[in-house]
Amino acid sequence: MEIAQRRVAYIHYTLTNDAGVVLDSSRGAQPLAYLHGAGNIIAGLENALAGKQAGDKFTVRVEPAQAYGERDESLVQQVPRRAFAGISDIRPGMSFQAQSSRGPMRVVVTRVAGDMITVDGNHPLAGEALNFDVEVTEVREASAEELSHGHVHGPGGHQH
């Protein structure tokens, strides 16, 4: 059975950046399960998986536009310390939920300089090409409940 719309695919993957640094991997754990066509994974990887079947192994390079997008420098802002009311110890690397004109978004503190805090709303992998080494382990039809919820249920998927 091929990976296609309304089907569940299980994959093992190793994700590396262009320097060859492993960023994430499912190896040694359960395979990642996703509902094809539901936007559960980045577009470039989902497009590369279409038509594949259990046992297929391949590598794919996903450019930023089909992954987490290009870096948007307008999402890097300096914010006065008073915006972090009730938090006395603010350090680089800390993340916070912020309200923006685009709705809620995660920001990461990148610099603390006196009363000004620099935050970055870009995804940590924005602007990076991603390299996937993939093995398809299983493909099956999605259940009616999975289709109505837009994600996989059970092992490797959402539990509820």
Average pLDDT over all residues of the chain: 93
Say what percent of the chain tops pLDDT 90. Answer: 86
Q: What is the pLDDT of residues 66-80, one digit of tens each?
A: 999 999 999 999 999
Domain with 48 in it: 7-68+126-149
Site of tokens 């990461």: 108
Residues 18 and 63 in one domain: yes
What is the H or E stretch that residue 149 is in? helix 144-149
Residue 45 lies in a domain: yes
Residues 83 and 11 in one domain: no
Query: For residue 121, which of 147, 141, 134, 102 has the smallest C-alpha distance?
Result: 102
**Rounded Cα distance, 14 and 28, in Å:** 11
Mean pLDDT to the nearest integer, 128-140: 98
pLDDT at res. 102 = 78
pLDDT at res. 159 = 52
**Rounded Cα distance, 93 and 70, in Å:** 21
Amino acid sitting at position 67: A
Mean pLDDT to the nearest integer, 115-132: 96
Among 83-92, 116-125, 151-160, name the one with the lowest average pLDDT.
151-160
pLDDT at res. 99 = 82
Query: For residue 128, which of 24, 58, 52, 28 has the smallest C-alpha distance?
Result: 24
Residues 113 and 134 in one domain: no
Residue by residue, DSSP assigns 10-79 as: EEEEEEE-TT--EEEE-TTSPPEEEETTTT-S-HHHHHHHTT-BTT-EEEEEE-GGGTT----GGGEEEE
Backbone angles phi, psi at 49, to 5 degrees: -80, -25
Residues 54 and 15 in one domain: yes
Our count of domains for the chain comes to: 2
**Whole-prediction pTM value?**
0.83
Residues 106 and 138 in one domain: no
Residue 95 lies in a domain: yes
Site of tokens 């492993």: 22
Residue 142 lies in a domain: yes
Residue 159 lies in a domain: no
Q: What is the pLDDT of residues 81-100, one digit of tens each?
A: 999 888 889 999 999 998 87
pLDDT at res. 98 = 85
Confidence at 153, pLDDT banded by 50, 70, 90 = confident
Residues 83 and 32 in one domain: no
Q: What is the CATH number of the domain that holds 79?
A: 2.40.10.330
Q: What is the pLDDT of residues 30-57, one digit of tens each?
A: 999 999 999 999 999 999 999 999 999 9
Residues 86 and 138 in one domain: no
